[in-house]
Amino acid sequence: MEPGTGLREITKLVTQNRIEQYAAASGDFNPIHVDEGYAATTQFGGTIAHGMMVAATISEVMTYAFGMDWYKSGKLKLRFKAPVRPGETVTTFGEVMGKKTVGDTEVFRCAVGVRRPNGETVITGEAIVVTDPKQGALEV
């Protein structure tokens, strides 16, 4: 993979049911995510998705691109810019920005993010992954 290569995009519909499932899996039952009555009284006017629930789609994009190498060495640095509400569709995207060979490995730096259909970015960030050509990338 060379700099300038776009990563596979993933589009997901965020639903209140998925938010509640994420709350159960993560143990994060903050009422801003799961209590519609409470959330309606906040600055958001309703429930919002957990930031890490939305960010998990970035890991999914990186897994498609780098397979097991992502699991073994992946690192993310993210900035959360806007909340995502139930009923919204978001698209996760990425692009290889740099590639450096270090010994027997390659280090990739990717720009990643999540956006709404209108183009507004809700998460931006950078992903770093080290690949081991001796083992070969495992497809998922």
Which domain does 83 fall in, by range? 55-131
pLDDT digits (tens, 9 = 90+) for 16-48: 999 999 999 999 999 999 999 999 999 999 999
Q: Are 76 and 66 in contact (CB under 8 A)?
A: no
What percentage of the chain reaches a pLDDT higher than 70?
94
Residue at 6 is within a domain: no
**Number of independent structural domains in the chain:** 1
Do strands 10-13 and 105-115 pair parallel, antiparallel, or not at all (unpaired)?
Answer: unpaired
Residue at 21 is within a domain: no
- Would you state the pLDDT for residue 104? 86
Nearest CA-CA partner of 6 in 67, 78, 97, 73 = 97
State pTM to two decimals.
Answer: 0.88
pLDDT digits (tens, 9 = 90+) for 65-77: 999 999 999 999 9
CATH number at residue 117: 3.10.129.10
Residue at 117 is within a domain: yes
